[in-house]
């Protein structure tokens, strides 16, 4: 039977009185806000310090991240670290997380093939992102790819059209009131996985670094 019910959402699992990212992470391990927890290995929460100057938001954990329980530790993560370094951003000043905290995949034989999260998963998981931002006070938010853009900037935002531009955020979000945080600068760019998939990988990588250099100007 196909599922027709909307997910109940992560808001039922987010501790209202959390004072630390670690409390959120511990609670997120038990989240059942949507069905993605059923097949994934574990929740992959954000990583970094509460005093990070930059917050990177990706899509969802990949295969490696799902097994290790940490964001951006697979091939896309390796590429992102390289790009962060080439853009002159201090990796020690970064908090990194995802719009959706469980790996969504399709089983083909024994292989787990990445499937992008749908709008219901992005909406269901967003309370974790909101809760993370409530503990963080970055100067800059870097939005990696379309899924993170949907979660942070709204469904009509187009990364290809508006990448590499600094914007005041959450003012530029579709519903800024969803993020009760101080105004910061945000910049959207392509997802590092898109660089790995690109026909002209060198050009795609150079574009990513160029965008991140724009982001770095506010630091
Ligand atoms: N891609 C993402 O968006 N996030 C990860 O953590 C890994 C790959
Ligand atoms: Fe909860 Fe998000 Fe995992 Fe869904 S994807 S179960 S909302 S943590």
pLDDT at 174 (0 to 100): 87
Ligand 1 pocket mutation pick from 40, 56, 61 by most atoms within 8 angstroms of CB: 61
Residue 3 inside a domain? The answer is: no
Cα distances (angstroms) measured from residue 26 to each of 17, 41, 79, 132: 13, 15, 28, 13
Residue 87 inside a domain? The answer is: yes
Query: Is the separation of the CB atoms in 96 and 56 below 8 Å?
Result: yes
140-144 and 111-114 beta bridge pairing: unpaired
Ligand nearest to the CA of 131: 2
Residue 69 inside a domain? The answer is: yes
Q: What is the CA radius of gyration of the chain?
A: 16
Domain count, the chain: 1
The residue behind tokens 């080439």 is 86
Measured from the CB, is residue 66 less than 6 Å from ligand 1? no
Ligand nearest to the CA of 59: 1
Q: How many CB atoms lie within 10 A of CB 117?
A: 25
CATH code of 144's domain: 3.40.470.10
> Where does residue 40 rank: exposed (0-12), middle (13-18), buried (19+ CB within 10 A)?
buried
Cα distances (angstroms) measured from residue 68 to each of 56, 101, 103: 19, 13, 12
Residue 137 inside a domain? The answer is: yes
Tell how far the Cα of 219 is from the centroid of ligand 2, in angstroms: 32
Query: Is the separation of the CB atoms in 189 and 208 below 8 Å?
Result: yes
Residue 184 inside a domain? The answer is: yes
Helical segments of 69-187, H only: 75-86, 119-135, 145-153, 159-162
β strands within the chain, DSSP E: 54-58, 94-98, 105-108, 111-114, 140-144, 166-169, 184-189
Distance CA 32, CA 43 (A): 10
Phi/psi at 95 (5° precision)? -110, 135
Q: Which two tokens stand for residue 92?
A: 């020690």
Tell how far the Cα of 207 is from the centroid of ligand 1, in angstroms: 19
Residue 1 inside a domain? The answer is: no
Distance CA 70, CA 186 (A): 23
| Residue 88 belongs to domain spanning | 10-218
Residue 5 inside a domain? The answer is: no
Residue 37 inside a domain? The answer is: yes
Q: Is the pTM of this model over 0.95?
A: yes
Q: Kindly give the confidence (pLDDT) of every residue in the chain, 219 residues in length, as a single tens digit, with 9 standing for 90 and above.
A: 555 678 999 999 999 999 999 999 999 999 999 999 999 999 999 999 999 999 999 999 999 999 999 999 999 999 999 999 999 999 999 999 999 999 999 999 999 999 999 999 999 999 999 999 999 999 999 999 999 999 999 999 999 999 999 999 999 998 899 898 899 999 999 999 999 999 999 999 999 999 999 999 999
């Amino acid at each position: 039977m196909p599922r027709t019910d909307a997910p109940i959402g992560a808001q039922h699992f987010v501790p209202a009185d959390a004072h630390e990212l670690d409390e959120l992470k511990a609670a997120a391990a038990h989240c059942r806000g949507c069905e993605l927890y059923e097949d994934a290995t574990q929740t992959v929460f954000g990583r970094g310090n509460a005093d990070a100057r930059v917050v990177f938001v990706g899509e969802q954990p990949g295969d490696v991240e799902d097994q290790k329980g940490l964001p951006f530790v697979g091939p896309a993560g390796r590429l992102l670290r390289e790009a962060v370094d080439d853009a002159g951003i201090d990796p020690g000043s970064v908090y990194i997380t995802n719009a959706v905290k469980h790996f969504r995949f399709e089983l083909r034989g024994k292989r787990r093939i990445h499937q992008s999260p749908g709008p219901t998963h992005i909406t269901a998981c967003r309370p974790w992102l909101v809760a993370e931002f409530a503990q963080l006070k970055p100067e800059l938010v870097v939005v990696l790819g379309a899924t993170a853009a949907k979660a942070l900037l709204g469904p009509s935002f187009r990364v290809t059209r508006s990448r590499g531009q600094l914007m005041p955020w959450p003012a530029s979000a579709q519903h800024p009131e969803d993020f009760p945080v101080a105004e910061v600068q945000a910049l959207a760019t392509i997802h590092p996985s898109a660089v790995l998939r690109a026909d002209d990988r060198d050009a795609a990588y150079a574009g990513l670094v160029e965008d991140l250099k724009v982001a770095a100007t506010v630091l």
